[in-house]
Amino acid sequence: MVVKTKKILVPLDGSKNSLRGLDMAIHLARQSHGTIVALSVKTVPGIYALHPLGFLDFNNMKEVKKILDSAKTKAAKKGIQLIGKSIAGDPGYDIAKFANNSKNKIDLVVIGARGMGSAKEIFLGSTSNYVLHKSKKPVLIVK
């Protein structure tokens, strides 16, 4: 069976592991002539998510833009198209939801084993663990 990996989702948070995930996604996209969707999810504390002002810290949004712009440049150097998207919410839930949404046409999720999460889990980060179990698409975890 030939699996066409045309659209690869890479969650990015700026951590070394997420950038290793990006490198792997670029490598795979080159082989399959695919494109990459880089998704940055800015964690919104639950109580503030309902706040009428939205509680988005725009300094952090600049940081997210910087992460996505540098990912775009890195992919372009290898001849790969990368589309950057940033959303605010819960990283694990929103990454899995994005991957599972048929409108996004994601074929594969490539995620770093651990990101910027505050607790260093022994084996897998909570976000990658959540995505691994909730994604209906194949997930490649990069260490």
Residue ranges and CATH numbers for the domains of the chain are 15-142 (3.40.50.620)
Plot region of 108 (φ>0 → left; ψ -120 to 50 → alpha; else → beta): beta
pLDDT reported for residue 120: 47
Q: Are 19 and 109 in contact (CB under 8 A)?
A: no
Q: What's the pTM?
A: 0.85
Q: What is the pLDDT of residue 1?
A: 45
Residues of the chain with pLDDT under 50: 1, 118-123
